[in-house]
Structure 1
Amino acid sequence: MAAAALVMVAPQFVLRDTEGTVHGPDEWSRAQAIVIFFTTIDCPLSNSYVPEMNRIRQTYSDRGVAFYAVQTDTTIAEAEVRRHARDFAFSFPVLIDPRQSLVQLAGATATPEVALLSKSGKVLYLGRIDNRIEDLDKRRSVVTESDLRNALDAVLAGRPVPHARTPVVGCGINFVTQEKKP
């Protein structure tokens, strides 16, 4: 799927985080870019990336980048998501997306997956954080491709993202099926 087809995502949403704070278009429009990590509490690969997510936020938040995580599994109680966010020390808000609207519109399919959005909501990058995970049971000892950092550097320098989409190895997102109204 071409990144150009994935547009106008973030500004359409007002989502609450695990602490009850509402995040929406006014906040997102002030950012130079928006990073959304798609996570779930029961994915060990996603959990293993939280320290790197926090490091990336620390590196780029002073440059006007807003960071959020989205809990992708709607069957997990909000209290459990809140506890998980605290236990794993996320340094940015963990959003609750009860209809998986942001997940679906961004095109996320696995955790950990990341979307980099322009402040207008256009998806500029969708894919892996880096290439540390080669397969579900195989990790590199040294990261050789820092895909999200490369995408952020390009966007902040006013250049196009060199690879707008990269493959993700992770836990598949369980999508909620919407009941059709008569």
Structure 2
Amino acid sequence: MKKVSLFIAVIAVFFFSSFAVNVPVPYKIGDKATDFKLKSVDGKMYSMADYKNAKGFIIVFTCNHCPFAKKYEDRINDLAKKYKPQGYILLAINPNDPIAQPDDNYEAMQVRAKEKAFAFPYLVDEGQKIYPQYGATKTPHVFLLDKNRIVKYIGAIDDNVDSAADVKEKYLENAIAALENGKNPSPETTKAIGCSIKTKK
């Protein structure tokens, strides 16, 4: 009986260990983020390695259809324009499955990028391989990385989804300012407010 119990215990440990290996652990502050090579709406492939002189990266998981993402589109565009000259590259990634949410398919992304004159690469996470590695759960969800791809801030862009004019705390911009001053952001994490990421059922 003891041998049977031991055998079951070993099998259980093996099963759960195998399962855990296949489930990415969400990034924490201080982790090194994985690079990626994703297709943008211009048909080109982009990765962080393309920007050799970057001081940091603003990775924004966002999409077309989400009302929260739409409210932040202009702000995201403004951030890209403001910080690129300072060496911070904004890369936006659409993590949604196009079958689960047709409004987020590649052709719709191209249309939206043209309509809004996006000043940043708008990338598609084909096969939904990248967002789980980062631990993104919402659109929008922001990850600020330094030049070595070390995660320095995770969360929301600011504290007011509905009105850019009424923002009191610019979390992302404050985090970038902290990096510029050789300090760690405070806060380092905030709660991302947005739509859940859409996956195949």
Q: Match for 2:58: what amino acid? A: V
Q: Figure out how many residues of one structure are paired with residues of the other and give that number.
A: 171
Structure 1 residues 92 and 2, CA gap change in structure 2 (3 angstroms) = closer
Query: Which residue identity does 2:46 align to in structure 1?
Result: H
Which residue is 2:9 aligned to?
Answer: none
CA–CA distance in structure 1, aligned partners of residues 64 and 129 of structure 2 = 19
Tell me which residue corresponds to 1:169. Answer: 193
More strand per residue: 1
Quote the offset at 1:47 in angstroms: 1.0
SS in 2 for 1:7: coil
SS at match of 1:49: helix
State the partner residue of 2:19. Answer: none
**Is 1:65 aligned to residue 88 of structure 2?**
yes
Aligned-pair identity (%): 27
8 Å Cα contact 1:37/1:69 also seen in 2: yes
After superposition, give the CA deviation of every residue in 1:40-86 in whole Å (9 maximum; x if it has no partner).
11101101111111222222111101111101212132111111111
The residue identity in structure 2 corresponding to 1:146 is K
Gaps of 5+ in 2: 1-25, 99-103
Cα 1:140–1:153 shift into 2, 3 Å:
closer
Rounded to whole Å, the distance in 2 between the matches of 1:83 and 1:22 is: 18
Contact 2:139–2:194 (Cα < 8 Å) also in 1 = yes
Q: Which residue of 2 aligns with 1:146?
A: 170
Paired residues of 1:29 and 1:120 also in contact (CA < 8 A): no
Kindly provide the amino acid, as one letter, of the partner of residue 49 in structure 1.
Y
TM-score (norm 1): 0.84
Amino acid at match of 2:157: I
Partner Cα distance (1:2, 1:73) in 2: 19
Runs of 4+ in 1 over 3 A off after TM superposition: 138-141
The 1:97–1:164 alpha-carbon spacing in structure 2 relative to 1, beyond 3 Å, is same
Is 1:52 paired with 2:80?
Answer: no
TM-score, length of structure 2 as denominator length = 0.77
Distance 1:55 1:139 in 2: 15
Q: Classify 1:35/1:51 alpha carbon distance in 2 versus 1 (closer, same or farther; 3 Å).
A: same
Runs of 5+ consecutive residues of structure 1 not aligned to the other structure: 178-182
1:151–1:162 Cα contact (<8 Å) kept: yes
**How far 1:176 moved relative to its partner?**
4.9
Q: Which residues of 2 match residues 93-108 of structure 1 at below 5 A?
A: 93-108=121-136
Residue 30 of structure 1, CA deviation: 2.5
How far 1:131 sits from its partner (Å)?
A: 0.5
- What is the aligned partner in structure 2 of residue 180 from structure 1? none
Counterpart in the other structure of 2:46: 23
2: distance between equivalents of 1:30 and 1:153?
18
RMSD over aligned CA atoms reads: 2.1
| 2:140 alignment counterpart | 112
* Larger proportion of helix: 2
Deviations 1:137-170 (A, max 9, x none): x768611110000011111222111122100221
